[in-house]
Copies of this chain bind each other. A is one copy, B any other.
Amino acid sequence: MVKKVCVFIGSRANYSSIRAAMSAIDKNPSLELQIVVGSSAVLDKYGAVINLIEKDGFNIVRKSYMSIQGETPATMAKSTGLCMMDMSTIFDELKPDYVVVVGDRYEIMAPALAAAYMNIPLVHTMGGEVTGTIDESIRHAVTKLAHIHFPANKESADRIIRLGERQDMVFTVGCPRIDMVKQIMESPFENINQLCELFGGVGYEIDFDKPFLLVSQHPVTTEFVSARKQMAETLQAIEVLDMQTVMLWPNSDAGSDFISKAIRSYREKNPQNKIHLFKNLPMEVYITLMMKTACLIGNSSSGIREGEFIGTPCVNIGSRQAGRERGENVIDVDNDSKQIEDAVRKQISHGQYISKHIYGDGRAGEKIAEILAGLGKIDIQKRITY
């Protein structure tokens, strides 16, 4: 009997973290893939991830418009409630055998809880990690709801087991995002020189034959009032470094509007800046940029995770990635323009690093599909092991 695997995608990060597994599930004759998209992934404003997914040949079966405007912690909570209502209806219609949720963004609580309440085995990838913000609480709470765990590395697997989960339901497969990185590194995006023409965006025309910086900074939920100030520090460092810079708009977390405002206001005041802004870039382009950039700056997990595999010099700012296992390619600094500037100069002179593959060998997706296909009946009744 074919088992239905329902994957929830709520953001572009979600998608790139699970795409390799989705492909493998889709190809596995014992499994049927059901894709449900929600949160910022359905919104044009955040790059219409939904279109990327379809362009990649996947069939989306349901979508949920659930993002309530306001982008305060209260609307984040209200949006999650709304998403949970939608998910209960969707799962009732789709009747999946597994629900898969990725990582730790706020909206994944909605499909996670709906699945758990509806007695559908819950699969969680990228659990057991340690970071800052509310993500830290969400990730471990989802672990306590999930039946099957696919952590990205050994350290995370150990942590999941210490949280009282059954050892036989914890499978260390590596990070599926690395699968795609590996693939892209084998054939990188070719037309990097036509990037601005191809993907629009606004601002300075980058010459990709010369060194450039890459910036990706997101709001830190529990400190959202200072999000604007933090972005201003980063922009100040970039101003001083005076290099051409590719920058991405922030994701849809509480506080993202503040970052966007900081960027807009900076551009109005510094019409001579060398920044080109993109709304969203296909992963293959982003990874290619990571392969070529002089330094990746910001607080995205990509510097730590994909960066380690690629060997990208990276300056990680602030608390957002606190606790996440990292390689030698990362220098951590505070939200301080001087520290940022100094670290970037150090990274530029160092150049590329050599990876130790701490986030997997590039076969995670394949392993996830195989394990799900092979699993017998799941005991829906969880029980802490101590």
Show the binding face of A for B, using Cβ within 8 Å.
42-45, 62, 64-70, 72-78, 80-89, 91-93, 106, 109-110, 113-114, 116-119, 130, 132-134, 136-138, 140-145, 159, 162-164, 202, 221-222, 257, 268, 319, 322-323, 380-384, 386
Contact = CB atoms under 8 A, between A and B. Distances in A.
Contacts of A92: 72, 74
Contacts of A117: 73, 76-77, 80, 106, 134
Nearest to A75: B65
7 contacts: A72-B92, A74-B88, A81-B83, A81-B84, A81-B88, A137-B144, A141-B141
Nearest to A78: B88
B134 A116 contact: yes
A382 B70 contact: no
Contacts of A322: 383
A91 B74 CA distance: 8
Contacts of A69: 43, 45, 65, 67-69
A119 B381 contact: no
Contacts of A42: 70
Given A133-B381, A136-B384, A384-B130, A77 B87 contact: yes
Contact of A68 (B66, B73, B114, B137): B66
A94 to B, nearest CB: 11
Nearest to A261: B44
A67 B65 contact: no
Tally of this chain's copies: 4
Contacts of A381: 132-133, 136, 222, 319
A322 B119 CA distance: 18
Give the interface centre of A74, A91, A116 by most chain B CB atoms within 10 Å.
A74
Given A76-B118, A137-B144, 13 more contacts: A65-B69, A68-B68, A73-B118, A74-B89, A77-B91, A78-B89, A86-B89, A109-B113, A137-B382, A144-B144, A159-B386, A162-B386, A222-B380
Give the interface centre of A42, A68, A72 by most chain B CB atoms within 10 Å.
A68
Give the interface centre of A117, A136, A319 by most chain B CB atoms within 10 Å.
A117
B88 A257 contact: no
Give the interface centre of A42, A140, A380 by most chain B CB atoms within 10 Å.
A140
Contacts of A319: 381
Give the interface centre of A43, A69, A91, A143 by most chain B CB atoms within 10 Å.
A69
A119 B73 contact: yes
Nearest to A268: B202
A74 B44 CA distance: 15
